[in-house]
Amino acid sequence: MEFQNISIFHPDQDIYSLTWIVALPTKKIFVNKGDADEILNVSQLIHKVFNIMDPSNDGEDEKLLKYKEKIRRKIPLKERSSNTVLTYGLIGLNIVIWLLMELNGGSQDVNILLLFGANEPFLVLKRDQYWRLVTSMFLHIGLSHLLYNSFALYLFGTRIEKYYGKIKFLFIYFISGVFGSIASIFFSNTVSAGASGAIYGLLGALLFLAYKTNKEIEGLNTYTILVMALIGIGLGWIMPSIDNAAHLAGFLSGLFTGKILLHPVRKEK
């Protein structure tokens, strides 16, 4: 096959254009007689594109196979809830309980914390008060603790509730919170309270969702979520007042639970 090259050669110029025709059905490249048939491995690149586009090609190299497999495993980002009322409900509940503690002696008073259900190793393990693993998730020590967790719950909870759905949101939240509380009693010998374990669980599930969809989730992508998690957990190692065991256990629980609950895309037959 020959065709007329409409490009004009100018020897005194640095740029010279060539016209190639690519036949998609046969995957062949046609070059006009007298023109260069290879420039900077362009033809090789074109053939690689053909290999990616053709799922029946058995001659593709290992890198192309891995690339196609990576693309195939991605799933669409789909909203599963039209509102985030549960997230706001949890924030409101935390605020109400904190106000009640303040009215009864103060949220930083150990006796008040224990009275309202704070986590404590001896009471849980020796007195079988396992309900503290859950009730401690709704208590906060001081105003700054409440404000920080409320903002984090809003930031991650609204996204998880919207894209996982309400039931799965609650499942991730409480599973992560309970595992965070369990880690706290085994790696700490003090009274602990807060929703941090559950919130880090939401962060872990959000990380998996962003990675699996390869999408920005309302401004947060895989990289930014991972950096936020690493910074939070890193601060826990240098600040003794932070229950880092609960954070790490909650994060891993949320990451694993989010993976289990996320629906894969159905394969076309």
Taking only the tens place, the pLDDT of each residue in 60-107 is: 456 555 555 555 567 778 888 889 999 999 999 999 999 999 999 999
Q: Are 156 and 198 in contact (CB under 8 A)?
A: no
pLDDT-based confidence at residue 236 (cuts at 50, 70, 90): confident
Q: Decide which of 181 and 233 is more confident.
A: 181
Q: Is the per-residue pLDDT at 183 higher than 70?
A: yes
Q: Is the per-residue pLDDT at 176 higher than 80?
A: yes
| Among the listed residues 159, 22, 163, 158, the one whose alpha carbon sits nearest the alpha carbon of residue 85 | 158
Quote the mean pLDDT of the chain.
Answer: 82
Lowest mean pLDDT among 32-36, 98-102, 121-125: 32-36
Mean pLDDT of 37-54: 57
Q: The pTM is what? A: 0.71
Mean pLDDT of 127-139: 96
pLDDT value at position 36?
A: 61
pLDDT value at position 237?
A: 77
Q: Are 123 and 114 in contact (CB under 8 A)?
A: yes
Mean pLDDT of 237-247: 83
The values of phi and psi at residue 25, to 5°, are -60, -40
Q: According to DSSP H, which parts of the chain are helical? A: 42-53, 62-73, 85-103, 110-116, 121-125, 132-135, 143-164, 166-187, 196-213, 222-238, 244-261
Active site residues: 196, 247
